Amino acid sequence: MLKLFFLLTLLLNTLSVFADSVKWKDVSFSVDIPENWREVKDFYGIPVTLLGPSVSPKPRAVVQIIPTEAPAVKIKDDDAKSFGEKYAEGRKRWVAEQNGTVLEILPGKLDGKFLTSGVSYKINKKSYLERTFYTSCPKRLFHLKIVLNFENESELAECEKIVRSFSCDG
């Protein structure tokens, strides 16, 4: 019994995530933000950005939360294929404009409440991993995005946990 108590105490002390209610203009939502992460609003034109810990020389992991102007829609499994194709087309075009190379495209899929897709690419000798998620809230569509350098790819699971904790009011 004492071992169980110490195990539970250790587990509770190592959990560094807390739910944060975020307000951006007329939109409110909540997301679990790890203790060592930082929330920044209107960062390079992105409404809400969560910055992972800075551990030099590794770059930070980034999660972006973008309330779109698109109204709420019912996301269906049938939407996944065309969404993935449009996403891939847009990312290929953007990477080409940056003189980069696409390494991998993940097809669109419906994953729980999220429509998801992803891409990996190389620009200026650095490789990046990007995952994008769309979810519908009562009043509008939200776009959540993960961007990682391959150097911090090990943080992908934590980033996905943040995204999956997202809940919205509007």
Half-sphere exposure of 143 (CA within 13 A, CB side): 15
Contact (Cβ atoms closer than 8 angstroms) between residue 36 and residue 53: yes
Task: Return all residues near 96 (Cβ < 8 A) that are at least 6 apart.
Answer: none
Which pLDDT belongs to residue 28?
Answer: 83
Q: State how far Cα 17 lies from the chain centre.
A: 16
Helix (H) or strand (E) holding 94: helix 79-97
Residue 80's pLDDT band, with cuts at 50, 70 and 90, is very high
Of 69, 66, 73, 47, nearest in space to 138 by CA: 73
Instruction: Tell me if the bond preceding 57 is cis, omega within 30° of 0.
Output: yes
pTM of the model: 0.83
C-alpha separations of 168 from 47, 70, 85, 101, 136 in Å = 15, 15, 27, 35, 9
Which pLDDT belongs to residue 75?
Answer: 87
Domain segments of the chain as ranges = 2-168
Higher local confidence (pLDDT), 156 or 8:
156
Contact (Cβ atoms closer than 8 angstroms) between residue 169 and residue 29: yes
Above 50 in pLDDT, residue 12? no
- Summarised one tens digit per residue, pLDDT across range 26-71 is 778 889 999 889 999 998 999 999 999 887 777 899 999 999 888 8
CATH fold for domain 2-168: Protein Transport Mog1p; Chain A (3.40.1000)
Alpha-carbon torsion angle 131, 51, 170, 108, nearest 10: 0
> Could you give the CA distance from residue 31 to residue 162 in angstroms, rounded to a whole number?
6
> Could you give the CA distance from residue 19 to residue 16 in angstroms, rounded to a whole number?
10
- Summarised one tens digit per residue, pLDDT across range 87-144 is 999 999 999 999 999 999 999 999 989 999 999 999 999 999 999 999 998 888 999 9
Which pLDDT belongs to residue 22?
Answer: 72
